[in-house]
A = this chain, B = another copy of it.
Amino acid sequence: MPLWTIYHPPGAYTPQQKQQFSADITGFYTRYGNLPAFYVVTVFQEIDADSFYIGGEPSAASVRIKADHIAVHTDDPDTRVRTRQILARILAPHTTDRGLYCEFHIDETPRDLWVLDGMAPPPLKSEAHQLWVQENRPVPY
């Protein structure tokens, strides 16, 4: 469900670091949301400093992240605060702790306009959802 797009400077991450980064993001959704791991897609895009501007100035040491939340939305203000705080902690070792300025924001998009391998995802808490979690792939249901 969540689609994470990560704009970063060329060479900021090795493939191993990108995999760990995406694994840490995935862990948030599997641990707190009981979502199937394969719902979490992370796309890294290198952006040269002369194509990456912050306040009109080129930036060679910034990471800008946009995530779409599709599977789960919440109106509860406390949960929303916790979501951004936990994600900030997960991102820190990959960004600010390494001297990379980091900004991220999350959008929430409609669950009923979402398709995986030709199927709409099963309802949360359904047996089929639990099967997708266990199998870690979309199973016809």
Contact = CB atoms under 8 A, between A and B. Distances in A.
A80 B22 CA distance: 31
Interface string A117-139: 11010000000000000001000
B117 A106 contact: no
Contacts of A37: 55-56
Contacts of A116: 102-103
A32 B107 CA distance: 24
A47 B44 CA distance: 8
A105 B51 contact: no
Contacts of A61: none
A44 to B, nearest CB: 4
Contacts of A92: 118
Interface string A44-74: 1111001111111110001010101110000
15 contacts: A18-B51, A19-B56, A26-B56, A41-B62, A43-B51, A43-B52, A44-B53, A70-B105, A80-B112, A81-B120, A102-B117, A105-B109, A106-B109, A106-B113, A108-B113
